[in-house]
Structure 1
Amino acid sequence: MKLYHFSEEPDISIFRPRVKANRQDMPPVVWAIDETHAFTFYFPRNCPRIVYQRTADMTEAQVQTFFGGTSSNTVITVETRWYEAIRSMTMYRYELPPATFRLFDSYAGYYISEETVEPIKVTAIPNLLGELMELDIDVRFTPDLHPLRDAILQSGIPDFGIHRFIFAEVPQAKTVMSNIPKKE
């Protein structure tokens, strides 16, 4: 089993356990992700994104709504404003020795270790979108993630992740009708 940690920093020589900001109830740990789910981290750290996968138990309506027009089994949707950052950044994938890690979340592929960990190796990933395309992942861009998030949460589809949504743009009220001149 291969476990990874992703960072925008190219020179991390040791990973020390720490308390994660959104997991204050947990002890300090080092986080890792398994190889199967690693693609979910091919984005800048704070890039909000929604990931969902086709499953055998989805209804035909769910497939049409969320996968209509694609043969991919995985769709990732990102805010349009993040395109340039994704396109131009290099991500660093640190391979971590699995010995001290235990499974934290099998659904998401997360593992944790309470020990200090030294990476086995680091690999630069300079073309994140290219890597995702090599995996046959459908990458979509939208100006507003909120409608998709709401649809996913109401849909009942089982395999999805909403990542870093705290950094999503707050939708602006649209007043289309107010721009139309009134007839007198």
Structure 2
Amino acid sequence: MKLFHFSSESNIEIFRPRVKHNRKDMPPVVWAIDQEHEFTFYFPRECPRIVITRSDDMSDEDLTRFFGVSSANKIVTVETHWYKAINEGTIYKYTLPGDSFKLFAKTAGYYISEETIIPEEMQPLDHLLDRLMDMNIEVRFTPSLHPLRDAILRSSIQDFGIHRFENAR
């Protein structure tokens, strides 16, 4: 199984386990993501974003409210002021050997390893919005993520991700 780690750094030779900023209750680990969910990291590291995925367990009201007339199964919403950084930025995709990783969160595609990891390869990724659209992922921009987050938390949506929300305006 191939897993990935995304970074703004292009020169990582070794991934050492560390405590994540928002998971201080966990031991040091190396984080990775599977291919199905890698698109959630096609953004600058500090960019707050919300990802929702259409599912059969959503109420009809929420399906209409959040997906409306969209045919996309996945929607990523980011704050408007991040547009230029996303559109012009480059991130680095590291391919990691999957043998020491254990599934941490199936819905998000997160895996963790307590071992030091040497990446197999690194690939720069640019034109991030084009990549997302090529995957039939709808990208939305809004001045503030707060109303959307509040609405999702009061909805029937079960498959969602709220990333780097501490950076939201």
CA contact (8 A) 2:102 2:113 kept: yes
Q: What residue number does 1:138 align with?
A: 138
- The separation in 2 between residues aligned to 1:122 and 1:57, in whole angstroms, is 37
Q: Structure 1 counterpart of 2:16, which letter?
A: R
- Between 1:64-73 and 1:54-63, the stretch displaced more is 54-63
Structure 2 partner of 1:30:
30
Q: Tell me the SS of whatever aligns to 1:10.
A: coil
Q: Verify: 1:53 aligned to 2:53, yes or no.
A: yes
Of the structure 1 ranges 111-120 and 54-63, higher mean CA displacement relative to structure 2 is found in 54-63
Q: Give CA deviations for 1:88-112 in whole Å, capped at 9, x if unaligned.
A: 1101000000011111111111101
CA distance in 2, matches of 1:130, 1:75: 14
Q: Which amino acid aligns with 1:47?
A: C
Calculate the TM-score normalised by the size of structure 1: 0.90
* Deviation (angstroms), 1:58: 1.5
| Aligned-partner SS, 2:158 | coil
Query: Match of 2:119?
Result: 119
Which of structures 1 and 2 has the larger relative contact order (alpha carbons within 8 angstroms, sep 6+)? 2
The one-letter amino acid of 1:121's match is: E
| Structure (1 or 2) with the larger CA radius of gyration | 1
Residue 91 of structure 1 aligns with an amino acid whose one-letter code is: I
- Whether the aligned pair in 1 keeps the contact of 2:57 and 2:156 (CA below 8 Å) is no
Deviating 4+ runs (over 2 angstroms): none
> What whole-Å deviation, never above 9, does each CA across 1:115-168 have from its counterpart, x for those lacking one?
110001111111110110011000000001111111101012111111111000
- Cα deviation for residue 6 of structure 1 reads 0.1
- Corresponding position of 1:13: 13
Q: What residue is the counterpart of 2:100 in the other structure? A: 100
Deviations, residues 29-88 of structure 1 (Å, cap 9, x unaligned): 100001111000000111111100000121221111000121000000000000000011
Which consecutive unaligned segments of at least 5 residues does structure 1 have?
170-184
What secondary structure is seen at the aligned counterpart in 2 of 1:100?
A: coil
SS at the partner of 2:149?
Answer: helix
Match of 2:84 in 1: 84
CA distance in 2, matches of 1:149, 1:98: 32
Aligned-residue CA RMSD (Å): 0.8
Alpha-carbon shift at residue 25 of structure 1 (Å): 1.3
Aligned to 2:64: 64
Q: Which runs of 5+ in 2 are unaligned?
A: none
Is residue 157 of structure 1 aligned with residue 157 of structure 2?
Answer: yes
Aligned partner letter, 1:66: F
Q: How far apart are the structure 2 equivalents of 1:26 and 1:148? A: 29
TM-score (norm 2): 0.98
Aligned length: 169
